[in-house]
């Protein structure tokens, strides 16, 4: 039998044998299914028979070429590897999920709100977000994120802002929409008998400016965790009140920065304790909770005032032991 014919038959027989055994050895091959935009939609087990058929055709063709060229059957192994490598390389040339055509989809995972691209500001460096926090007094009812996202931010602040001895004494009451407006109406009510008649119009105008915003966060401290710590650690009993205030202040600041990073403007107010009882009655807040501040937030209807900086080094900042 001629060498070329024998080589051809050998190649075809080997190819047929592999085709019969392959489904038993590896019945499914995991393939990345790519969309028309080039992004990997998912990984689905699909039979890659078209790719394998191409390998077999390449093998048979190269065997015949080798036989016709006078080369021995020892070249079969190298041609098989070459054909398989070619198929694998062709797969790897598919667009990567991290390519520019899909970067928008994947970068969304860094945002805090998929519905608002401004929320990607939270991916900024922490110091950048701190620098950009300002006091906005001119606010409106435009909200760059949803109410559910606002609730999520406040919950994250409660979960991750530290507290002394892990007391977790801070309590937050979030007032949105009509409840937010009701709170500031109550402030006007309680201020009216306390304000000189000639000054009340100006006071009312100021309070209506807060009412014009989107929402208010009330920051409370619950006394029970603090009292429990005083009993458990009498040596530090006189400190726990101060440390409770530190904890509350950190919650105020963290949430202020977070809301402004999402695109809100905000300002911090202190109409406690005159509003405490009204708020407690209307929103069923325990009377023993101590209201510490009110963070007003909303759409930015104006620009913040110019920031004034006092000298730091030598007056407000002192560094010892620095190597540079």
Q: Right CATH number for 134-301 from 3.40.50.1980, 3.20.20.80, 3.40.109.10, 3.40.640.10?
A: 3.40.109.10
C-alpha span between 229 and 236 (Å, rounded): 9
50-59 contacts at long range (C-beta below 8 A, 24 or more positions apart): 51/87, 51/91, 52/19, 52/22, 54/83, 54/87, 55/80, 55/83, 55/84, 55/87, 56/15, 56/18, 56/19, 58/82, 58/83, 58/86, 59/11, 59/14, 59/15, 59/83
C-alpha span between 42 and 203 (Å, rounded): 60
Q: Rg of the Cα trace of the chain? A: 35
C-alpha span between 200 and 203 (Å, rounded): 5
Q: CA torsion angle for 87, 93, 95, 99 (degrees, to 10)?
A: 150
Tracing tokens 């070329």 back to the chain, one arrives at 4
- Facing residues of 219 across strands? 172, 293
Helical (H) or strand (E) element with 215: strand 215-221
Helical (H) or strand (E) element with 173: strand 170-176
The tens-digit pLDDT sequence of the chain (324 residues) is 554 445 555 655 555 555 555 545 444 444 343 333 444 444 444 444 444 444 444 544 544 444 444 443 444 333 333 333 333 333 333 333 333 333 333 233 333 444 454 444 444 578 888 999 999 999 999 999 999 999 999 999 999 999 999 999 999 999 999 999 999 999 999 999 999 988 999 999 999 999 999 999 999 999 999 999 999 999 999 999 999 999 999 999 999 999 999 999 999 999 999 999 999 999 999 999 999 999 999 999 999 988 899 999 999 999 999 998
Would you tell me how many other CB atoms lie within 10 Å of the CB of residue 315? 8
Every domain of the chain and the residues it spans: 134-301
Query: Is the pTM for the entire model greater than 0.85?
Result: no
């Amino acid at each position: 039998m001629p060498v070329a014919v024998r080589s051809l038959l050998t190649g075809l027989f080997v190819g047929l044998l592999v085709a019969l055994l392959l489904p038993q050895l590896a019945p499914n091959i995991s393939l990345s299914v790519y969309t028309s935009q080039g992004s990997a939609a998912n990984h689905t087990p699909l039979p890659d028979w078209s790719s394998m058929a191409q390998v077999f055709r390449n093998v048979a063709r190269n065997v015949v070429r080798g036989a016709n060229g006078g080369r021995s059957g020892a070249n079969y192994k190298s041609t098989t590897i070459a054909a398989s490598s070619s198929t694998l390389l062709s797969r790897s040339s598919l667009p990567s999920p991290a390519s520019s055509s899909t970067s928008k989809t994947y970068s969304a995972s860094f945002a805090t709100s998929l519905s608002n691209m401004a929320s990607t500001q939270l991916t900024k460096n922490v110091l950048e977000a701190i620098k950009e926090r300002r006091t906005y007094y001119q606010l409106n009812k435009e909200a760059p994120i949803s109410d559910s996202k606002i609730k999520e931010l406040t919950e994250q602040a409660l979960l991750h802002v530290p507290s002394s001895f892990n007391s977790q004494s801070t309590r937050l009451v979030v007032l949105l929409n009509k409840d937010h407006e009701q709170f500031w109406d109550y402030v006007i009510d309680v201020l009216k008998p306390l304000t000189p008649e000639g000054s009340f119009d100006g006071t009312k105008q100021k309070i209506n400016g807060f009412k014009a915003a989107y929402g208010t966060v009330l920051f409370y401290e619950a006394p029970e965790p603090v009292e429990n710590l005083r009993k458990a650690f009498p040596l530090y009993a006189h400190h726990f009140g101060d440390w409770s205030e530190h904890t509350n202040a950190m919650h105020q600041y963290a949430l202020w920065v977070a809301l402004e990073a999402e695109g809100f403007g905000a300002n911090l107010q202190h109409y406690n304790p005159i509003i405490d009882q009204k708020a407690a009655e209307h929103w069923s807040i325990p009377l023993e909770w101590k209201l510490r501040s009110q963070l007003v937030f909303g759409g930015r209807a104006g620009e913040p005032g110019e920031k004034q900086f006092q000298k730091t080094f030598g007056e407000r900042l002192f560094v010892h032991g620095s190597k540079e």
